[in-house]
Amino acid sequence: MRVAVFSAWVTLAVAFAPLASRYSRHLSGSLGKASWDFALSGAAVLALLTAVLAAFGAHAVVAAHPKARGGNLAHTAHYWATAAVLAATAVIGIPRIPTPALQVGGILVFGVLLGAVLALEHATVDAGERAYTLSRWALNALDYLIGLGVFAAAVTILSPGALGASFAGLAAALLAVDVLRQPGRTPDSAALLVPAIGVLTGLAAARILLWDIPPVRAALLLLLLLYALTGILLHYLQRSLRWWVRVEYFALLLLGGWALLRWFP
């Protein structure tokens, strides 16, 4: 029930994205030697608000689980990231859909995806449940699918400039929180590894944005990098990072990147 309620509320907020994207305000001023001059868009404000609302929804859904440590924020915070990234990306992307009918379709698809994410977050709280493994695989697949959408938005809507690379890096770090999340207690070392994923992905995005390649190919290259980084670090956290695992991911990154650059349209 909570999944449906919070999915509906966040979807309603996202439905205002086409309207919010029409408004922006130029802010400038100074205070002593410090000065500022930037445009504040309605879409950016709504993206932040919906991300917070989606994170709160994930907290409420996970906190309702009997094994969620009484809804302790230090525990449920590991489950917020995917819902927040999905909501923010939807607010950025849906206004760019060309027709109102397709925008409505995009909003409905978002609602379904958010509901699936929240349900899977709840299903992966307890590793002892029968459906845990299947739910974990499905959630990882959604994480990478959302990552592809994030990178597509970064290289088409938010580029050129540092904004697209920063958004790609931040979203990659947040998605990595969910991918690297372990049943029970996530190792403290993950707190150091997740920012590294964000920095590396952001730097790669900044470089790729300078290349004259199709946006879909650029987004797939960033997704391949995110998959390789999270795969290596997941094996590290599980104490199963052998030398052949490193070789496999390194080969996947090189050969996959070469194949995308050479053959992908």
What does the DSSP 8-state code read for residue 77?
Answer: G
Number of residues assigned to the chain: 265
Rounded distance, CA 71 to CA 203, Å?
Answer: 36
Instruction: Please state the domain extents for the chain.
Output: 1-22+40-126, 130-265
For residues 168 and 202, give the distance between their C-alpha atoms in angstroms, rounded to a whole number: 6
pLDDT score recorded for residue 227: 93
pLDDT tens per residue across span 181-192: 877 666 666 777
Q: What is the pLDDT of residues 67-124, one digit of tens each?
A: 766 566 666 778 889 999 999 999 988 988 888 899 999 999 999 999 999 999 988 8
Integer Rg of the chain from CA? 19
Separation CA 258–CA 27 (nearest Å): 44
Which pLDDT does position 38 carry in this prediction?
A: 58
pTM of the predicted model as reported, rounded to 2 decimal places:
0.87
Nearest Cα neighbor of 43 from 175, 171, 206, 158 is 158
